[in-house]
Amino acid sequence: MVTKTEQIRQRVDALEQRFNDLLLGHSFAQQQIGFIKTFDIQYGKPLKQRTLLEVEQAAHSQRQKQSSEKLQFTAKVSTKLHAIIENAINEQLHNADNLYSEVLGIQDAVPTILDILGAKAASVGRLEPLVNDLSWLGRELVTLVNLPQYRQERANRGVKIDTPALAIRYLGLDNLRLTIPTYAMRHWLPHSTEPFSLLKRKLRESAMSRAIAAYELAQLQGLNPYSAYIAALFLDLGRVALTRLYLRLFQQIWQRKVTLARDEGNKRLHDALIAIEPDPLYLRNLFVERSLEITRSLVEKMGFRYIGLNALLDDFALVEASEQSGLAQVLVHASCYSQYLMLHEHQLIEDDERTLWFNYVGLQSDHVQHLEKTNLHNLALQIDG
């Protein structure tokens, strides 16, 4: 017999799965919970339809049969294609070095910078040569400090910031602890997530809201906000890596099969392959089953010395809250709240589900009230002009 606690856990798991569905599209998420929207409602009297002639009925039946057979064949081809893709994904997931360097393209200077920012002896001088080696990061920081809200006061004094070295000095360590990991995470996102057109944006928004929530909750409880912020931000590394890997392997293997079918003159197979696109259900399942594991592997590869993210992520994975550290519980609460926000925005969660979820993870009402007053979409940087 399933206990009440197990039933609640199953409902919470379903909500977290619904969030993963939403990442891949609002319509897909609706389909997974059985939401049906009808656009063919007719108002007034129905139009009279003439009776089909016997010949037309026979033709109609034949078309339906052919359509059904075509769909069944396409589904069979898709299953075989994804079996090949799954084998390729499993092989690559066992190669942490390839996942780290080739799939995500993480440069060693990035975790080194983040580690320095977590050390008590952190200094801007230690960061400068490392930032200079990362042209994309230097551009982001220079662009940031030259935004209108930060530029006007300097302009009155004739100060111009046009190099990364000046930018990091202007920002200071406290702001760099928030901006650099944020830009790193954005840099690792896929350039395109088609046919899941909104996935990239939703991953970015999800990571941002969760990270700011974790930072705020850690501060409220006197815990390390920098560790909380980075851990919450990087929780999506697994999803990002799996998205990149799946879309890349799908395209490579699909293209190879299409070319082979065309060269062999197998029109039926060729037409079925052309109709197949990346499968949101398959990618969703990868997120649910493998994401945290891959995140943990990638963070371990970063080799942090001053930021204890490895132990923190291990604690986060524990089921029992009583076994988790304070920071791990902050991650749980921040993840829950940020996922709830996105589901609520898309009207995919009910009030009773919200209450059950918050109670299950132990998210206190005063913490919820604090988060409700906090802008979880943008960093609140304190920069003196």
Asked whether residue 116 falls in the same domain as residue 85, the answer is no
Asked whether residue 288 falls in the same domain as residue 216, the answer is yes
The reply to whether 2 falls in a domain is: no
The reply to whether 57 falls in a domain is: no
In 3D space, the residue among 243, 236, 229 whose CA is nearest the CA of residue 284 turns out to be: 243
Asked whether residue 195 falls in the same domain as residue 172, the answer is no
- DSSP conformational letter for 303: T
Asked whether residue 293 falls in the same domain as residue 355, the answer is yes
Say what the pLDDT of residue 385 is. 54
Sign of the Cα torsion 205, 211, 213, 215 reads negative
Asked whether residue 202 falls in the same domain as residue 179, the answer is no
- Measure the CA–CA gap between 107 and 163, rounded to whole angstroms: 21
369 within 8 A of 202, measured Cβ to Cβ: no
Q: For residue 237, with 0-12 CB atoms within 10 Å meaning exposed, 13-18 middle and 19 or more buried, which class applies?
A: buried
Asked whether residue 270 falls in the same domain as residue 330, the answer is yes
| Three-state secondary structure call for residue 290 | helix
The reply to whether 197 falls in a domain is: yes
258 within 8 A of 89, measured Cβ to Cβ: no
The reply to whether 53 falls in a domain is: no
Asked whether residue 203 falls in the same domain as residue 250, the answer is yes
CB atoms within 10 A of CB 333: 24
Asked whether residue 313 falls in the same domain as residue 215, the answer is yes
Say what the pLDDT of residue 81 is. 95
Residue type, 179: T
Residue type, 232: A
* Domain final position from 150, 166, 188: 188
Residue with tokens 């339906």: 64
Asked whether residue 247 falls in the same domain as residue 341, the answer is yes
Asked whether residue 184 falls in the same domain as residue 260, the answer is no
What pTM was computed for the model? Answer: 0.88
The reply to whether 356 falls in a domain is: yes
* Domain final position from 188, 204, 237: 188
State the Cα angle at 374 between 368 and 376, rounded to 5°.
100
In 3D space, the residue among 132, 97, 129 whose CA is nearest the CA of residue 303 turns out to be: 97
* Domain final position from 188, 213, 239: 188
The domain total for the chain is 2
- Measure the CA–CA gap between 254 and 241, rounded to whole angstroms: 20
Say what the pLDDT of residue 33 is. 86
- DSSP conformational letter for 34: T
Asked whether residue 152 falls in the same domain as residue 203, the answer is no
Domain range enclosing 83 = 10-18+73-94+191-376
Phi/psi of residue 348, nearest 5 degrees: -115, 20
In order along its 385 residues, the chain shows pLDDT tens digits of 778 888 999 999 999 999 999 999 999 999 988 754 333 333 334 334 444 455 545 555 555 555 688 889 999 999 999 999 999 999 999 998 999 999 999 999 999 999 999 998 899 999 999 999 999 999 999 999 988 877 765 665 556 788 999 999 999 999 999 999 999 999 999 999 999 999 999 999 999 999 999 999 999 999 999 999 999 999 999 999 999 999 999 999 999 999 999 999 999 999 999 999 999 999 999 999 999 999 999 999 999 999 989 999 999 988 777 788 999 999 999 999 999 999 999 999 999 999 999 999 999 999 999 999 999 999 988 876 5
The reply to whether 42 falls in a domain is: no
The CATH number for 317's domain is 1.10.3210
Asked whether residue 231 falls in the same domain as residue 129, the answer is no
Say what the pLDDT of residue 384 is. 66
Q: Which residues contact 29 (CB under 8 A, 6 or more apart)?
A: 18, 21, 22, 346, 348
Phi/psi of residue 299, nearest 5 degrees: -65, -40
The reply to whether 4 falls in a domain is: no
- Measure the CA–CA gap between 307 and 231, rounded to whole angstroms: 9
The reply to whether 122 falls in a domain is: yes
- Measure the CA–CA gap between 205 and 25, rounded to whole angstroms: 14
